[in-house]
Amino acid sequence: MTAIQSDAYGKTRVRLTYVDRDREPHQVRELSIGILFEGDFSAAYTHGDNSRILPTDTMKNTVYVLARQLSWDSAEVFAQGIAKHFLDRLQDLLKVTVDIEEIPWQHIPGQNAAFLQSGNERRTAKLRASRSAFEASSGLKDLQILKTSDSGFSGFLRDEYTTLAETDDRLFGTVLQAQWRYLGDNISFNEAHRQIRRVLLESFARHASLSVQHTLFAMGQAVLEQVGDVSNIHLVMPNKHCLLVDLARFGIDNPNRVFVPTDEPSGYIEARIVR
């Protein structure tokens, strides 16, 4: 006999640009929002009974209504408002997950109502909530960073297929992804995000790196030491290689000046650092 073990449904990539005109200077928030419902919805799968199914189009419309009606200044607070709205209304809904990616907009210097967007960096927030509890995390992704000194890699294991040369002077490039959880729920999310991002970047820049792993741990450790509200942090740091170009065949030296950036393949390094 067949049966459903688990099921979920929802709406993904609900796009929203919100302009907060009550602030001076104005604030622009551009979000991509995903909503996932878990609950007693199996009859829709087994019998085509949609009587407990809220259309995903309604989820989309609700996002826009709540964006206008709620008082919110961060993706985390908005996610909490979305989750509460659905949990309060739908008796068959047991859990709701709200995933938000925010595209940062910055003011053009000296301008209150003109903005620019640079790079691929995204701010992230995730909330998984039931009527009795919730679990929230914040983060960032696709933040491209590079250092040109204080980075080496040596003393590693070798076998008959190892060709990589040891070095104490290499480029260290990565596309940072970070996700962290807080100790409490009375958090100033915007300020916490700014502080954690600053600590991550400062630690990356200042650390004398013996490997990607070495620097990843130092960055996570710095966040936990300097931001008391964070309980743990998960970091993903692929090693985006820049290969030194051999110019000797042209009779030209290349003292770590000319490189070829490569996207694939790349090393993959991750860890969760806890208190």
Distance from C-alpha of 9 to C-alpha of 49, rounded to nearest angstrom:
15
Q: Which of 174, 240, 241, 262 is catalytic?
A: 241
Q: Which of 26, 56, 85, 234 is catalytic?
A: 56
Query: CA angle at residue 255 from 250 to 257, to 5 degrees?
Result: 90
Secondary structure (H, E, C), the chain: CCCCCCCCEEEEEEEEEEEECCCCCCEEEEEEEEEEEEECCHHHHHCCCCCCCCCHHHHHHHHHHHHHHCCCCCHHHHHHHHHHHHHHHCCCEEEEEEEEEEECCEECCCCCCCEECCCCCEEEEEEEECCCCEEEEEEEEEEEEEECCCECECCCCCCCCCCCCCECCCCEEEEEEEEEEECCCCCCHHHHHHHHHHHHHHHHHHCCECCHHHHHHHHHHHHHHHCCCEEEEEEECCECCEEECCCHHHCCCCCCCCEEECCCCCECCEEEEEC
Q: Which of 11, 126, 207, 240 is catalytic?
A: 11
* Structure tokens, 183: 């100790």
- 18 near 28, Cβ under 8 Å? yes
* Structure tokens, 144: 């491209």
11 a catalytic residue: yes
Q: Which residues are catalytic?
A: 11, 56, 241
